[in-house]
Every structure is written in C-alpha cells, then in structure tokens.
Structure 1
Amino acid sequence: MEALASNAPNAMAEQVYQRLKSDIFNFRLFPGDRFSEHGIAAHYGVSRTPMRDGLFRLQREGYLEVGFRRGWRVAPINFEQLDQLYDLRIVLELAALDRILSVEHGREAVEALKAVWCVTPEHREADPATMFEMDEDFHRCLVAATGNLEMLRVHNDVTERIRIMRRLDFLKPQRTSATYDEHGKLLELLERNRHAEATILLRAHITQSKVEVRKITLSMLAAARDQKLPFVT
C-alpha cells in the first residue's frame, strides 16, 4: 500500500479520514470488522496521530466503534436509524417542493433537471455507480433550488449518512429504470403546477427507496465487498 503523503498534519489527518471512509463505503471495511490502530497505521503508512484523528472523527459520525482493550470495529448497520433518516429526507424534500416554483431560478432548475432525466431509453445511464451519483444530485438540486442554505446543509448531512446503503440500491437494474421514470414524471408534474400529485409521487419515490434498503441483507452486503483488507482481524 502506498503511504499517504502530506507536509501539513491537518491535511494528513483529512487524507486518512477520507481513505478510511472510502474503505467503509466501498465495503473493504465491512460492518463488524475489527482492527487495531497499529495495523491500520502500518497499512496506510502513516503515524498514529493522524490515524487516530481520522478514527475518532469517524466514531463521532457513527461509522466506527471503539472498546477498551478490544480495538476498533466498523459499526453494524442501524436500520432503525436509517428509517429515521429517510423520514427526515422526506420532510426536507417535500418542503423543497413547496418552495421550488415560487423562488427565483426555481423553474430554471426544473428545466435543467428535465434535460438529464426526461430522455429516451437509449440515452439513459446504465452504470450503477454513475446512476447513484446522478440520483443524489437530482435530490440535492431540488433542495438547492429553494435557495435555503440551511435546508441544503441538513439535506447534505442526511444524504451522507444514508449513502453507505443507498448506493447498493442501484445494483438492481429495475431500480435504475424506475428512477428515470419517477424523476421524469415528478419534473413534468412540477412544470404543469400539479403540486399535490408531485408531492404524492415524491413521498412514494423516497419511501420505496427506504423499502429497498430494508431488503438488503448481510449476504448482499458480503457480495458487494471489494476485498478484505490485510489489517482486519
């Protein structure tokens, strides 16, 4: 493993944090995996100080756990918390729909999204990783178009915290086609000022995503694992 390199301690800690988070999100560090600070520092080629900064930051965010004399562990998936985060996401995005057409540039945002999502089947994206990023961007743009920066900040935080599971949703081809259909329909309803129908559709769209996440089993997570890192015990 090539060592991380930086002259600034804060920059090094940030690099470690981002590498660790990437390994968790890509299931190279799997829920329940245990490891020591010494092992992971040696693997990344860094000193213990920036490594510990990254570990404790991820602990505060709920991705890692630490026990006395037991070392570190990747936190198990908390489905109850995921349900609550999805419910919060629904609240935020429904509030965005209430405002999006009444604010400056709101309709422009809708038109820009239509150019991406209201396309013929042969022009639809098929790569799951790209689709995942496009879907996140769609929902973020709906909130951003309101101009409410605090609402967007909270939405970004929710998006980050459910990302580890949501990305698996697009491994199913039918979810990709359904996402295109539902996004396109939602934008058309907004453009035609059919707000009540758009609200019903958006709620159903996000709720279905929550249901699909609930269907993800440990065996499906294991199948998504890229590789087991050598420092995992």
Structure 2
Amino acid sequence: MQLSGAPSSGKERPENFAERIYLQLKDDIFEFRLLPGDRFSEGEIAARMAVSRTPVRQALYRLEREGYLQVYFRSGWQVKPFDFAHFEELYEVRIVLELEAVRRLCERPVEEQSPALEQLKRTWLVQPEQRLQDGGEVSRLDERFHCLLVEAAGNREMARLHAEVSEKIRIIRRLDFTQSPRVAATYAEHGQILAAILSRRSKEAQLLLKTHIEVSKAEVRKITLHMLHSARQRTVQTPEVTT
C-alpha cells in the first residue's frame, strides 16, 4: 500500500479537509497506489494527511457509498477487490441505455437536430492535427461524448442512470486512454458514430456504438489486469518500511 498525502493548512475549513482527503484517496485507488484488497485504518490516513480522524471518516464513508471501499468495524477499511463480473453488468446497462438513445436520436426529423450533437461535432469531427493527445483529457471528453448522446435523447431518468453507471466504471474505463493508438481509434470511431446518427442511419449507428464500447471494454480489462500485476510486483520488490 502506497498512500500519498500532503500536510494540511491550519486555516483550511473542516469540510475542505474531507473533500481533499476524498479526492486524494480516490486518485490513489484510480492510480493503483491503493490496490484492490489493501487494508488500512483511519489513523494511518489521518497521520499521512496531517488531519484529525473526523474528516478522514467522512471521506472514507463517502467512498464506501460510491462502492470503492468496504469497512470492517473491528479491523479498519479495505479497497474493494475488483469484480469484473460487476463491471460487465454495468457495461451491459450502459450499452442498453446508449443504444436506445441512438435509436431515439435517429428517429427525430433532421430539422430537429440536438444542439448536443453540434457540440460533439465540434469536438470529434476535426482534422488529425487538431486532435488532443493528452489521455486524461480525451478520457474526460470520451465520457462526455457518451453522456451527451443519452442526454440528447431527452429522457432525464435515462441520463441520470447513465451518469451513475459512467461514474462507477470510470476507474477502469479511463485506462483505455493510456495508449496513443486507442486515443486515435476513439476519435475515428466517435466520428463514424456521429456521422451515422446525423444521417439517421439507425442500425449502422447502433452497431458502430456497440462495437466501439465492446472493444474498449476488452482493452480496459486487459490493461487493468496488467497494471494490477505490475503494481503488485512493485509492492513485493519494494515493501513499505514501517517505523
């Protein structure tokens, strides 16, 4: 376990402590500094962050509600082990929602084109030299691409559920953009999906979208397994020194 932390300012408000700790721990989980199965105590986090246990506890329970941690009342906290079956189910829900959104968008008359689609065209239908290369930024825009498609369909409950699913799979989905070939592929595939939607080619748009998500899902599973293996190897080779 390799927790990161920074000393706090005595002038910082207590609620800001909890937010900062929450964001730091979430980043530690996403970057595999905290590995699935790792255990730790509130006291360890408080010492590393140089804060009291109260904001630490608030941050930890927030992460538990979001599904990243589980608490053992007699033995501290644990990062939830990766459950790929659960991620598969979340991806299935995501595909169902997005395919329905695309179907609805393609049924609309051309003159009723959504402003969201115009926004997506400006982001994704660009020349190769205009494409972003920063994986983190492309990951954010990729999630926004898929969320906007569902939002544009006009059902707020569909959009809310899709946003919740997107948040839950973000921990592995973002890994798809750690390799430049996948960044280029995302631009190309998003462009094809948009072109099909704008031309009201519903079946083609749905097939392109489903294939795009399935390929990404396979890539992130492979990358996740590799990164977990590498992180565990580093932990074995450089064990943390306790005093």
Aligned with 1:15 (options 11, 20, 33): 20
Q: Match of 2:77, SS?
A: strand
Aligned equivalents of 2:242 and 2:210: distance in 1? 40
Residue 105 of structure 2 aligns with which residue?
A: 100
- Structure-1 residue corresponding to 2:154: 147
Aligned to 1:74: 79
Task: Give the aligned CA root-mean-square deviation in angstroms.
Answer: 2.7
For residue 96 of structure 2, the aligned residue among 91, 94, 111 is: 91
- Separation in 2 of the partners of 1:47 and 1:232? 21
Structural mapping, 1:45-64, within 5 Å: 45-64=50-69
Q: Distance in 2 between matches of 1:170 and 1:203?
A: 18
Which stretch shows the higher mean deviation, 92-101 or 184-193?
92-101
Question: Match for 2:200 among 188, 193, 198?
Answer: 193
Q: Deviations over 1:71-110 (max 9, x none)?
A: 2221121111010000000011112112235399643322
Change over 3 Å in CA distance of 1:68–1:39 after alignment to 2: same
Equivalent pairs, count: 230
Does residue 174 of structure 2 align to residue 167 of structure 1?
A: yes
Matching of residues 15-34 of structure 1 within 5 Å:
15-34=20-39
When the two structures are superposed, what TM-score results if normalisation uses the length of structure 2? 0.84
Determine if the alignment matches structure 1 residue 42 to structure 2 residue 47. yes
Offset of residue 185 of structure 1:
0.7
In the alignment, structure 1 segments of 5+ residues that lack a partner are none
TM-score w.r.t. structure 1 length? 0.87
Report SS of the residue matched to 1:216: helix
C-alpha separation between the residues in 2 aligned to 1:51 and 1:168? 27
Contact kept, 8 Å, 1:13 with 1:51, in 2: the verdict is yes
Which of residues 164, 169, 178 in structure 2 aligns to 1:157? 164
TM-superposed CA distance for 1:146, in Å, is 2.2
* Long gaps (5+) in structure 2: 1-5
State the distance in 2 between where 1:145 and 1:33 align. 40
Residue by residue over 1:130-174, the C-alpha shift from the partner in whole angstroms, topping out at 9 and shown as x without a partner, is 111111111111112123222111111111110111111111222
Look up the SS of the partner of 2:167 in the other structure. Answer: helix
User: CA separation in 2, counterparts of 1:159 and 1:74?
Assistant: 20
RCO comparison, higher one (Cα < 8 Å, 6+): 1
Distance 1:48 1:137, change over 3 A: same
Matched-pair contact (CA < 8 Å) for 1:114–1:187: yes
In the alignment, the residues of structure 2 paired with residue 160 and residue 232 of structure 1 have an alpha-carbon distance, to the nearest angstrom, of 35
Which deviates more from structure 2 when the two are superposed, residues 56-65 or residues 131-140? 56-65
Match of 1:113 among 106, 120, 123: 120
The 8 Å contact of residues 63 and 69 in structure 2, kept in 1 or not, is answered as yes
CA deviation digits over 1:53-88, x for unaligned, max 9? 221221232211233543222112111101000000
Match of 2:3 in 1: none
State the Cα deviation string for residues 180-221 of structure 1 (Å, max 9, x = none): 111001111111111111011111111111111221354423
Q: Identity of paired residues, percent?
A: 51
